[in-house]
Every structure is written in C-alpha cells, then in structure tokens.
Amino acid sequence: MLAAAVVAQPDAKWGESPRAYVELKPGASATAEELIAHCRQHLAGYKVPRTLEFGELPKTSTGKIQKFMLRERARSASAIE
C-alpha cells in the first residue's frame, strides 16, 4: 500500500460511517475484503470502513492528501446509492 485515507460518509442508520480510499504501489495487489478483514482484527467495530475504494488519491503539490476532496467524493457516492 502506498497511501490510504479514511473519511466519513453519510449513513442512514448511524449518521456517518467510515469510507476508506487506498492507493496501491505499482505491482501490488490487495482486495477490499482482505483490507477490511485486517481492519476488523486491529480496530474497534465502529472504526472499520464499510466501503473501500482503490485509486489515485488527490494530493497537493507538496504531496499531502486532500481529504476535503475525498469527503466530497464520499458524499456524492452515497447520494447515488
């Protein structure tokens, strides 16, 4: 894994639930199920991401992850569902 970020997405039951975004190293492979299972072993149940999305993360020119853009993505994705 190269980078990961977790943001809140709207949830009908709980108000908010975690949504993870993962950027993998070139040549690396992982499935959402594997990563969620790993999180279940090491985190409290309410902290485990409900959904996981793979892809390039938006970054600033200095390399910081732009979480506000990920929050916008999570909001628009939950509106579609």
> Tens digits of per-residue pLDDT, 8-17?
998 888 889 9
> Tens digits of per-residue pLDDT, 31-76?
999 999 999 999 999 999 999 999 999 999 999 999 999 999 888 8
Q: Would you state the pLDDT for residue 14?
A: 86
Neighbours of 36 (CB within 10 A): 15
The three state secondary structure string of 17-64 is EEEEEEECCCCCCCCHHHHHHHHHHHCCHHHCCCEEEECCCCECCCCC
Q: Which residue has the tokens 């997405």?
A: 9
Q: Would you state the pLDDT for residue 78?
A: 60
Which residues have CB under 8 Å from 49's CB, separation 6+? 6, 18, 19, 20, 36, 39
Q: Would you state the pLDDT for residue 75?
A: 87
The encoded tokens of residue 28 equal 């690396």
Q: Would you state the pLDDT for residue 11?
A: 87
